[in-house]
Amino acid sequence: MSQLLDTKIEFLKGVGPLKAEALKSELGIFTVGDLISHYPFRHEDRSKIYTVSEIQGQEDIYVQLRGKIFPQGILGIGPARRFTATFRDGTGEFELVWFKSISYIEKYLNPGSFFLIHGKITNYKGKINMAHPELEVLTDDFNPSSLGLTPVYPLTEGLKRKKIESKLLTQLTKQIVTLPQFQVPECLPESIIQKFKFVSRTQALTDLHFPPNLTCLEDAKRRLKFDELFYLQLRHLQLKGNRNRVITGLVFEQVGDHFNNFYNNYLPFSLTNAQKRVLKEIRVDVKTGKQMNRLLQGDVGSGKTMVAMLAMLLSLDNGYQTCLMAPTEILAIQHAISIGEWMEHMKVTVALLTGSTTKKNRKEILEKLANGEIDILIGTHALLEEDVAFKKLGFVVIDEQHRFGVAQRARLWKKGQVAPHILVMTATPIPRTLAMTVYGDLDVSVIDEMPAGRKPIVTVQRHESTRPLFMDFLRDEIAKGRQVYYVFPLIEDSEKLALKSLMSGYDMVADYLPTPKFKYSFLHGKMKPADKESEMKKFKLGQTDIMVATTVIEVGVNVPNASVMVVENAERFGLAQLHQLRGRVGRGAEQSFCILVTGDKLSESGRKRIKTMVRTNDGFEIAKVDLELRGPGELDGTKQSGVLDLKLADIRFDESILIAARNEAVLWLEKDELLMQEESSPIRYELGKTPNRTIWSKIS
Ligand code: ADP
Ligand code: MG
């Protein structure tokens, strides 16, 4: 039976060497099984036959009609050369047009015959017409209900050029599913099928291609989407299970002097309940003897850094060094500044290692790291280099993780003799469904509460033409002692152009807010690190009023006194980016503002993005809109994941199936973790068929 699925497509009627070659090269279809797995992306209702009178005034819909065709002849020359004919069905008439295959069509149209035509109605100068309709000569015993819902398959341009159309795929697939030996191995245990009243996998596949009615089509989709998501979750959970079995985790028994001293004497504010809860979750994890792999999600400004700080102290209390890795130098520098301040009166040694650390400094740091003198190492990708070796690494924090690739993360922990605990922090608000899909093998903690006293940021859209007005507003805010970020989009990713566009941006701003009365800091990605650090410091210490920057300040920068964020050409930014930028303000007790400056003409999605930003401050809500606008594959970092190339399920719309699939996968592994029981045999078989895909969030 699975022999059938493995059969080469050449075995099917209608597949000669040329077509076989085209199907292989264009769609990767080699076998009968591949063909069955090439799903239609929609169905057309071919049981309905329209009349010409019914479709008058319609546009852009696919319809099927029955009637006679009367050739008109060839018109026009060059690209406008076309063949036209009149279609009549007794209720009216309209024109059919062909631009290609004209001589073939001319011969085919026998004026006496009845035709069934199918195609898209377009409206041309107030009249309906149809270009390149599908044609079929009707026989006497024709019965429209025999056509029913007809699949439409995704095709490539290459296939269309070779005249391989949906119709051929339909014929081939029909051949397969009507074979008496067509039987697909069941991939779900019987009890799950019963529980959800699923149709069998064979039935689902048959109905997905050739549904007798819409209910059957829905049932087939529900079943097949569940299969996809169930196996995705099962693989995540197995990965996690294997990790727990194979890797021994360090045990952090005690809360010691470092933690207690800091917590009782130097904590600059009291923790929010959410911060306390997450800290507790971490403390539970690190006692179990299993390696922690935890994702900490929290909107921008929710206070993730302090949670990481306290967790790092826990590691020190148990005799282990820790490190914190940030995606940009600016962020690493900033963490070094704030952690340095927090640790000022503590007996803790903090060091910063980045790509621009001097050779001499670096050598010293590496020595102290190896002999255990450095307790906390903060840095960028530079931490991943071969010669960075810790004496006893116990805890790793990765900030703003969406910027790191799999390989990089995997390299980090090899630096410890025993796998350290890993805390991954992200402010990219990922909707719950996406988190379950992408990070299914991590434990997730959420900080869902902002520190007390924060006022929601007021966001407005302003057109370029009103610049004098909002410049006045900036002047007033600065007069009150506030500071302003002024962000320009990075036009080109080159040092010279970045600087140039920033400089002309600065000239424009300085026209309204002139020096020396107003003092400026500058920041762009390609600056020398020492300059970055000093520009950041000046702004942080309040020595400058306005920070003119590119999006390098997008991630993590923290200056609580800055209360206004202006983003020029805001329509060029994605939602996630705008939200990150806005998150730079609203960090203190003052009312903060975000001014999105746009041109007058916005694209549809540009308008929607700006509107969303103005409407809400809620990162999760924004992420949802982002997901709708861009689709899951486009979200930061998920593109390369491969996790999201689901064929049928769309996590934007199939949340309930995803949750059900996740729950069943959890229950199943709780019952039979190693899949040894008889009932698990369909799962064993299915997992054996396809090797585990690379999972993006895999950390160890
Ligand atoms: P993010 O989660 O975006 O990394 P940060 O850790 O940078 O946020 O915190 C944002 C700001 O809020 C910082 O100035 C931090 O010191 C402050 N903060 C964090 N937790 C609290 C709290 N519980 N109460 C008051 N302020 C806090
Ligand atoms: Mg942060």
- Domains in the chain with CATH codes: 47-147 (2.40.50.140), 257-285+302-426 (3.40.50.300), 458-616 (3.40.50.300)
Please report the DSSP string for 188-208 in residue order.
Answer: S-HHHHHHTTPPPHHHHHHHH
Whether residue 424 contacts residue 398, with contact meaning beta carbons closer than 8 Å, is answered with yes
Ligand 1 pocket test, candidate residues 558, 563, 590, most atoms within 8 A of CB: 558
**Predicted pLDDT at 434:** 75
**Predicted pLDDT at 366:** 95
Ligand 1 atom nearest to 302, measured from its CA: 2
Question: What confidence category does residue 406 fall into, taking pLDDT thresholds of 50, 70 and 90?
Answer: very low
| Assigned token pair, 200 | 């069998």
pLDDT, tens digit, 9 for 90 and up, residues 509-545: 999 999 899 999 988 877 887 888 888 889 988 999 9
Whether residue 207 contacts residue 199, with contact meaning beta carbons closer than 8 Å, is answered with yes
pLDDT, tens digit, 9 for 90 and up, residues 102-130: 888 888 887 778 898 989 999 888 889 99
Ligand nearest to the CA of 400: 2
Q: Other CB atoms closer than 10 Å to residue 155's CB: what's the count?
A: 17
User: E strand or H helix at 383, and its extent?
Assistant: none
Give me the amino acid identity at 220.
A
pLDDT, tens digit, 9 for 90 and up, residues 358-368: 999 999 999 99
Ligand 1: lining residues by beta carbon, under 6 Å: 269, 271-272, 275, 298, 300-306, 427, 451, 556, 558, 560, 587
Residue 382 has pLDDT above 50, yes or no: yes
465 Cα: distance to centroid of ligand 2 (angstroms):
35
Question: What confidence category does residue 692 fall into, taking pLDDT thresholds of 50, 70 and 90?
Answer: very low
pLDDT, tens digit, 9 for 90 and up, residues 188-237: 999 999 999 999 999 999 999 999 989 999 999 999 999 999 998 998 88
302 Cα: distance to centroid of ligand 1 (angstroms):
6
Q: Please classify residue 97 by burial: count the beta carbons closer than 10 Å to its beta carbon, then call 0-12 exposed, 13-18 middle and 19+ buried.
A: middle
Q: Which CA distances in Å does 299 have to 208, 447, 552, 558?
A: 41, 7, 18, 14
**Predicted pLDDT at 408:** 57
**Partners of residue 485 on adjacent β-strands:** 547, 565
Backbone phi and psi for residue 602, each to the nearest 5 degrees, phi listed first: -115, 150
- Cα(552)–Cα(331) distance, rounded to whole angstroms? 9
Ligand 1 atom nearest to 560, measured from its CA: 14
335 Cα: distance to centroid of ligand 2 (angstroms):
9
Q: Which residues, at least 6 apart from 452, have a Cβ–Cβ distance to it below 8 Å?
A: 272
| Whole-prediction pTM | 0.69
Q: Which residues, at least 6 apart from 689, have a Cβ–Cβ distance to it below 8 Å?
A: none
pLDDT, tens digit, 9 for 90 and up, residues 272-318: 999 999 999 999 999 998 889 898 988 888 899 999 999 999 999 99
Handedness of CA 532, 534, 538, 544 (dihedral sign): negative
Instruction: Give the pLDDT mean for 644-648.
Output: 75
Q: Please classify residue 72 by burial: count the beta carbons closer than 10 Å to its beta carbon, then call 0-12 exposed, 13-18 middle and 19+ buried.
A: middle
197 backbone φψ class: left, alpha, beta (φ>0; ψ -120 to 50):
left
Across the chain, mean pLDDT equals 86
**What radius of gyration do the chain's Cα atoms show?**
32
Ligand 1 atom nearest to 338, measured from its CA: 16
User: Which alpha helices (DSSP H) does 214-262 contain, by range?
Assistant: 214-246, 257-261
Which of 348, 415, 418 is CA-nearest to residue 376? 348
**Predicted pLDDT at 457:** 93
| Assigned token pair, 94 | 């309209």
Expressed in percent and rounded to 5, the helix, strand and coil fractions of the chain are: 45, 20, 35
Q: Which residues, at least 6 apart from 26, have a Cβ–Cβ distance to it below 8 Å?
A: 156, 158, 159, 164
25 Cα: distance to centroid of ligand 2 (angstroms):
47
Residue 83 has pLDDT above 50, yes or no: yes
Query: Which position has the token pair 């941006």?
Result: 505
User: E strand or H helix at 71, and its extent?
Assistant: strand 62-75
Coil/strand/helix, residue 59: coil
514 backbone φψ class: left, alpha, beta (φ>0; ψ -120 to 50):
beta
User: Which alpha helices (DSSP H) does 300-378 contain, by range?
Assistant: 304-317, 329-342, 359-370
266 Cα: distance to centroid of ligand 1 (angstroms):
15
| Assigned token pair, 444 | 């997730």
Whether residue 596 contacts residue 610, with contact meaning beta carbons closer than 8 Å, is answered with yes
Above pLDDT 70, what percent of the chain? Answer: 91
579 Cα: distance to centroid of ligand 2 (angstroms):
13
**Distance between first and last Cα of the chain:** 39
Give nearest CA residue, ligand 1 atom 25: 451
Above pLDDT 90, what percent of the chain? Answer: 48
Considering only residues 639 and 556, tell me which one the structure prediction assigns the higher pLDDT.
556
**Predicted pLDDT at 493:** 56
- Cα(9)–Cα(29) distance, rounded to whole angstroms? 8
The conformation of residue 266, written as its DSSP 8-state character, comes to I
Q: Which residues, at least 6 apart from 327, have a Cβ–Cβ distance to it below 8 Å?
A: 380, 399, 400, 403, 404, 555
169 backbone φψ class: left, alpha, beta (φ>0; ψ -120 to 50):
alpha
Ligand 1 atom nearest to 399, measured from its CA: 4
Ligand 1 atom nearest to 307, measured from its CA: 6
Which of 504, 106, 485 is CA-nearest to residue 96? 106
**Predicted pLDDT at 554:** 63
**Strand residue runs (E) in 430-517:** 443-447, 458-463, 483-487
Question: What confidence category does residue 495 fall into, taking pLDDT thresholds of 50, 70 and 90?
Answer: low
| Assigned token pair, 462 | 């302003």
